[in-house]
Amino acid sequence: MCGIVGYVGSQNALSVVLDGLRRLEYRGYDSAGVALLDGAGGLLTQRKAGPLGNLEKELGDAPHEGNTGIGHTRWATHGAPTDRNAHPHTDCHHRVAVIHNGIIENFVPLRAELEARGHELTSETDTEVVAHLLEELTRDGAALPDAMRTVCQRLDGAFTLLAVHADAPGVVVGARRNSPLVVGLGEGETFLASDVAAFIAHTRDAVELGQDQVVTVTRDGYTLTDFAGTEVAGRQFRIDWDLAAAEKGGHPYFMLKEIEEQPAAVEDTLRGHLAGGRIVLDEERVDEQVLRDVDKVFVVACGTAYHSGLIAKYAIEHWTRVPVEVEMASEFRYRDPVLDRATLVVAISQSGETADTLQAVRHAREQKATVLAICNTNGAQIPRESDAVLYTRCGPEIGVAATKTFMAQITASYLIGLGLAQARGTKYEDEVAAEFDKLARMPELIGQVLTTVEPVRELAREIAGSKAVLFLGRHLGYPVALEGALKLKELAYMHAEGFPAGELKHGPIALIEDGLPVVVVMPSPHGRPVLHGKVLSNIQEIRARGARTIVIAEEGDADVRPYANHLIEVPRTPTLLSPLVTTVPLQVLAAEIAQARGYDVDKPRNLAKSVTVE
Ligand code: AGP
């Protein structure tokens, strides 16, 4: 949610900042802006509603000198996405410029206070108060870092802030609480960003900021303090992926590239987790005895990650016989769930920043539950605040719609299920190893599906004009149906719903009308044959009412053939692992329908990749 970049060095700041913003645009894209210090006491700001391209046009070809700058791409919270509400925001005298990600919850009284003292605030944002508060403190003689620390102590909510001051050339000051900020360390240049993708073209050496810290960067490096001014140490790390991972690599859009990277995402997530016949959860900081004592598992997550949690439930319950509840993180803490020391909470989040999931984690830990995170972002807030973490190893996912990280989340959940089964003895060591072997074969099967999706693209063009699409599944097909529907909603802006196929007759069947496309995720005839027969009956029910059936079924499933208007075959897969193959055609279908309707597949409207507000 909102992308933030800062730069101090010897390069042209504007070009570094714009390049960083291009790589962060997935975080928010309803407006963008920059602030540059020209080194001679001047502050230039420019901001524009709409995508980054609008700002670039506004800046034109005129050279903008200066080696210090900050930039922002916005996902609007307070105030519509207009030029006036775009960041940066400045003070009354245009000496301080501020950009912000998050929400300042107490901005209303702060704004009233500032207005009473004669400040003129020109936007509807919560952010602008910070610029005016910094103005007062710096006018009274405080250095910008000191002023930032004082201001932060007055703010409630979540924020990453960057500020520059016309009187402090060569300095960018940042602060963070509940929202990400990393420092990039180059040779004679230093970067700040919400995500390392912004500076990966320049350096792979980075420093992670802790909670409630203020960082001051110059071209020679950085200093880090808490809000009280006490110096603290940051955690330095080396980014383990390179620029190529953040580029389209010849693909028309990132999502397609990321769909194709799914076999590797699963393989990399599995790598090293079986050693000497035993499951190894390497970042596991939880004692095996704790896992043995677990009597209930909660999975908390949002959106696609929530769907991976639904899949995890089938596997974990089957392998461990421990009951698993899956809950949308945004609801979790508000209903006072029953948690204690014997509860394991699995928090799934690719970004590790999602505010709803973070708050669920905090609530679970307050209630003394053990929290294990599944995350794709090294050092993000959710893994930091959890007892343990299992990283998915997907590299950056830039398309806003989650694809490869979904596959990796499912894979990591299976690993947790097997780890639990091993610790609790509900599976013998050879059984655990046998399940792992099945998992290890999945990248090949996913690869096979990817070679057969061409007919899905044709189908997508045929149904792109439909007003709605329904998705049905049973057992593990149900979360896959939910995910297929979510992908279509977010990318193609079509009405799409996922239902358990057996639930249809209890109401949703009223939606079926002549020609309505209905996607059915067929269970394998070999897993639970009884389910196969039941879903076949559900298909008959909808065909009898005119539905156009699009069936995803296992190769060789002859029984379903007569009832499928469009048959999409996937390789035979162990039942519990089937979502890893049945999801793929649905991702392709959604992306292709979106393209056929003329939408930006990587940047769907109203969305942002990481949602750092509740
Ligand atoms: C998925 O396509 C969505 N963009 C969204 O549902 C996402 O999965 C959700 O916001 C959770 O994000 P997280 O995994 O970063 O926590």
**Span from the CA of 564 to the centroid of ligand 1 (angstroms):** 32
CA 372 from centroid of its chain's CA atoms: 17
Local confidence band at 100 (pLDDT 50, 70, 90 cut-offs)? very high
**Span from the CA of 496 to the centroid of ligand 1 (angstroms):** 17
Among 611, 613, 614, say which to mutate for ligand 1: greatest number of ligand atoms within 8 Å of CB: 611
**pLDDT per residue as tens digits for the range 420-470:** 999 999 999 999 999 999 999 999 999 999 999 999 999 999 999 999 999
In the predicted model, what is the mean pLDDT of residues 563-567? 96
What are 100's two structure tokens?
């912000």
Q: Is the CB of 381 under 6 A from ligand 1?
A: no
> Quick one: what percent of the chain has pLDDT higher than 70?
100
Distances 445 to 246, 283, 550 between C-alpha atoms, Å: 25, 28, 21
Q: How many CB atoms lie within 10 A of CB 134?
A: 26
Q: How many CB atoms lie within 10 A of CB 534?
A: 15
Whether 250 has a pLDDT exceeding 90, the answer reads no
Q: Is the CB of 401 under 6 A from ligand 1?
A: yes
The pTM assigned to this predicted structure is 0.85
Whether 282 has a pLDDT exceeding 70, the answer reads no
Mean pLDDT in the chain? 94
The residues that are catalytic are 2, 609
Q: Is the CB of 376 under 6 A from ligand 1?
A: no
**pLDDT per residue as tens digits for the range 206-249:** 999 989 999 999 999 999 999 999 999 998 999 888 888 878 88
Whether 28 has a pLDDT exceeding 80, the answer reads no
Q: Is the CB of 612 under 6 A from ligand 1?
A: no
**Span from the CA of 403 to the centroid of ligand 1 (angstroms):** 10
Among 351, 353, 404, 486, say which to mutate for ligand 1: greatest number of ligand atoms within 8 Å of CB: 351
Q: What is the pLDDT of residue 179?
A: 84
In the predicted model, what is the mean pLDDT of residues 524-552? 94
Local confidence band at 612 (pLDDT 50, 70, 90 cut-offs)? confident
> Quick one: what percent of the chain has pLDDT higher than 90?
83
Q: Could you identify the atom of ligand 1 that is nearest to the CA of residue 304?
A: 8
| Higher local confidence (pLDDT), 78 or 286 | 78
Residue nearest to ligand 1 atom 3, measured at CA: 401
Q: Could you identify the atom of ligand 1 that is nearest to the CA of residue 354?
A: 16
Q: Is the CB of 392 under 6 A from ligand 1?
A: no
DSSP 227-269: TTS-B---EEEE-SS-GGGGS-TT-SSHHHHHHHTHHHHHHHH
Closest CA to 518 of 475, 559, 473: 473
- Taking the C-alpha atoms of residue 223 and residue 233, their distance in angstroms, rounded to an integer, is 9
Local confidence band at 142 (pLDDT 50, 70, 90 cut-offs)? very high
